[in-house]
Amino acid sequence: MFTANAKIIKSGGAEPDAFEASISQALLELEMNSDLKSQLRELYITKAREIETNNKKCIIIYVPMPKLKAFQKIQTRLVRELEKKFSGKHVMFVGERKILPKPTRKTRTKNKQKRPRSRTLTAVYDALLEDLVYPVEIVGKRIRIKLDGTQLIKVHLDKNEQTNIEHKVNTFLMYNEYFYIFLYFFEHFNISNFIFICVTIECKLVIFTFYYFLLM
């Protein structure tokens, strides 16, 4: 017999909280009662958070990296069904990644294995950005380093995918132990392209802003 926690497996065997259990229950109901049954049978999540900012709420669902591609294959339909179940709150899926610290003289002697490129701070941030904008494709990126050391990163998104995200006009705030992320979605869509701007401060604060504007 399936339980409400059947679709969530937390690291270290920790018990899910009430909100995570509700997400797991929703996924289980979709598996049992929808045509997503075959795709969801082998999938599970690792944690979930409900974030509120400016009186708007969104749901961040973390999935294990080996399952991320499988989730993305059904993500559009899955997000649609979950948003119905949770009163229209925007739902976002991201892979649960781990950042390894930069090796020092002491750690180099202890860890003979070289730190994978995918575990570096920059690589994890880039991968997270791709998760957040999925299924929109990133088609270009420009980085500007200011005199105070901060970075302004302009990420160009595929304008052909604009309809997949233009309904998300709310403001999201997402926090974890590594960074803050702000997503601002503007309500005017009579434009030809849009730009994703990322401002990084001291590698601790990351602000992503969705700007829609007409490219001159």
- In the chain, where the domains are located: 1-96, 137-206
pLDDT band at 150 (very low <50, low <70, confident <90, very high): low
Q: Quick one: CA torsion of 1, 83, 56, 25, rounded to 10 degrees?
A: 0
Residue 151, strand partner residues: 145, 200
Question: pTM of the entire structure?
Answer: 0.71
C-alpha triplet 118, 124, 126: angle, nearest 5°: 110
Q: Is the pLDDT of residue 94 over 80?
A: yes
Per the structure block, which two tokens stand in for 76? 């559009």
Q: Is the pLDDT of residue 176 over 60?
A: no
Phi, psi (5° rounding) for residue 3?
-110, 170
* Residue 128 CB neighbours (<10 A): 20
Q: Right CATH number for 1-96 from 3.40.50.720, 3.40.640.10, 3.30.300.20, 2.40.50.140?
A: 3.30.300.20
- The pLDDT value recorded for residue 64 is 92
